Every structure is written in structure tokens, then in C-alpha cells.
Structure 1
Amino acid sequence: MNPADEILDVVDENDRVVARCPRGEAYARGLRHRCVFIEARDPDGRLFVHRRTATKLVFPSRHDMFVGGVVGAGESYDAAALREAEEELGVSGLPQPSFLFKFLYDDGAGKSWWSAVYELRCALPVRPQAEEVAWYGFLPDEEVRRLLGTWEWVPDGLAAYERLRAFRSAR
């Protein structure tokens, strides 16, 4: 199936479903929907970082420190988090990612989605989808912080990353 044809729940400012439509239409019309962000780390605690392919519908060729994606119509955040983690990492049999928090991402220019943030340890060898991931590596946190000012990152991932850092420092 063409990703633009995937049916999504359209939600309001309180994350209540108000309609359904194809992903391509939701993006074109700036309709609010749902996404999941999964921070994947290897057994040594290094963060999975990747560069998106040039064919992605949003933020093509940019780097991201999360795996994830849209929540399908009628799908729960938890189910989407596991599905997306397994799809993007190219593995099966992962444990359920742990839910951390949810926030509303809104860039003020028509990109808005409820964003559920999860964490996951992946001890399995990864084989990311070639159609989703152009490059990847497991990087130490210090390296990721150094690259924040150098690489072009997906803006929603940066927003989730900053919120995750604040969430962890408040614990």
C-alpha cells in the first residue's frame, strides 16, 4: 500500500477522534492525527539514530533519534509503538516499548499531531527497512548532543528529544 493511502484517525486538541482520512490528505490539509516516537537503545545504552530516505512524505533525508510513525485508524498508541519499532528496526519479537508521556506537536505551519513517546531496549541485531532508513548507527548520548548543531534533524523528533530530556531530569 502507498503510505499516502493509509487511513488515519483525525483528532482534536484533546486527542479525541473526529474523522478518518488517508494520510496524504491529512498531511495536505494539515489535519491533526496521532504519532508514536520510540527511543531505541542497544544493550550498551547507545541511541539508535538514522537518516530518513529521500522518499519519505514528511521530513525526507533528515536525521532522527526516534523510530516511529503514524498511528493507524483504530490502532492504539501501544500497538503502533510496537509495530513501528519492529518495522523500522527490521526485527520481530521486541518487548512492548514503555510509554513515557504524550504531547501535542504543532509547528504552527500546518503540521500537528499528538505524539506518544516510548523507550525500548533492543538486544536483537537490527535490519532497518531500506525504504525508510538511508543510514543508521547506535551512538553514545555525547555524540548525539554534539551532532544536534551539525546535522539536519526532523523538527518533531527534536521537540520529542528535548521534552524527553526534561522529563528525565524532572524525575
Structure 2
Amino acid sequence: MSAADEVLDVVDRDDRVTGQAPRGEVYSRGLLHRCVFVQVRDGLGRIFVHRRTASKLVFPAHYDMFVGGVLGAGEDYPGAALREAEEELGVSGLEQPVPLFKFLYEGPGGAWWSYVHEVRCALPVAPQESEVDWHTWLEPEELERRVAGGEWAWVPDGLEAYRRLRAFREGGSRPPAPRA
């Protein structure tokens, strides 16, 4: 089965499931769906950064400071966060990513509910070759310089999640847990 054939839940602006459709149809028709973003830090506090493969359906060959992806039909956010992090990092036995906040991304590529998580990974990573073309661990200050410098083409949804995560951390408050 190709990625375009994977069945996703279609949701409304309140993140309630209204139906299901293949991923290719969801993308082509601009239907709302669900995604997870997981910021991964190593034992030294560095952030996992990678370049997506050129074969990705959305934002091919762009850089990202999150691992993650779409939720399959019937999948919940916590399960998807752990599954996506383990798949993309090529690890098993990762702790459950901590949920932080959810927002509706609307921008280049479409619109989707985006639930941001974070996790520590002290395990050696072997990123999934079909997802990750290149990777490194960056100090938070270096990541900030790379984002501000504009020399890397960042995925727009990840960039929006990164900006919101910075604001969330600066505010020091934890939003109420959204519905799954």
C-alpha cells in the first residue's frame, strides 16, 4: 500500500471525526485531518533536526525540527506520537512523548490539527531511510540561528509549531489538555 492509499480520519474545525478518506484524497481535496509533531532531544539537550526525503508527499526535501506525521484512521494522538517517533528515529522502547498543546495549522500545504509533543531519546538513532534523508543533533541556540538565518528550507507546519512551542515555553503555562 502506498502512502497515498493510507486511510485517515477526516475531522472538522473542532477536531471531531466526520469521516475517513485515503491520504491522497485528503491532500488533494484539502480535507482537515490530524498530525503529531514530536520534538526530540538527546541526553545533552540537543534537538534532532533532519531533512525529509525527496519522495515525501508534502514538503519534500525540506528541513524539520520535529518528527511526526499523520494519524491513521482510528488512531489517537498519544499512540501516533510514540509510533511516529520510534519509526522515524529507528528506535524501540522510547518513552511516551509528553503532550504539550494542539493547534489548527492553516498554511502552505493545507490545514490540519497539529498536536505538539516532546520526548528525550538517549538511544542511538537509525532514522528511517524512506522518511529521513539527513539528520543531526543541534544545540537549541544553533537551531534558532538556522531558523532565523533562512538558509535552510523548513517545512512550514514545523516552523509554525516551533514558533508556537517557543511562545509556549516563554509563557510558562500549560494549556488545558485537548480532546483526543
**TM-score under structure 1 normalisation?**
0.98
Q: Which runs of 5+ in 2 are unaligned?
A: 173-180
Q: What are the superposed Cα offsets for residues 112-158 of structure 1, whole Å, 9 maximum, x if unpaired?
A: 00000000000000000111000000000111111112100000000
Contact 1:8 1:22 in 2 (8 A): yes
Number of residue-to-residue matches in the alignment: 170
Contact 1:6–1:23 (Cα < 8 Å) also in 2: yes
Query: Does the Cα contact within 8 Å between 1:105 and 1:114 map onto a contact in 2?
Result: yes
SS for the counterpart of 1:156 is helix
Equivalence map 1:1-171=2 (5 Å)? 1-107=1-107, 111-148=110-147, 149-171=150-172
| Deviation, structure 1 residue 110 | 6.1
Q: Where do 4+ consecutive residues of structure 1 move more than 4 Å?
A: none
User: How has the CA–CA distance of structure 1 residues 5 and 65 changed in structure 2, closer, same or farther, with 3 Å as cutoff?
Assistant: same
SS of match in other structure, 1:36: strand
Counterpart CA distance in 1 for 2:109 and 2:91 is: 33
Give the counterpart letter for 1:125 in structure 2: P
**Contact 1:31–1:110, Cα closer than 8 Å, also in 2:** no
3-state secondary structure, aligned to 1:100: strand
- Contact map agreement 1:29 1:110 (CA 8 A) in 2: no
Matches of 2:3 and 2:42, distance apart in 1 = 28
Report the aligned-residue RMSD.
0.8
Q: Which amino acid aligns with 2:27?
A: Y
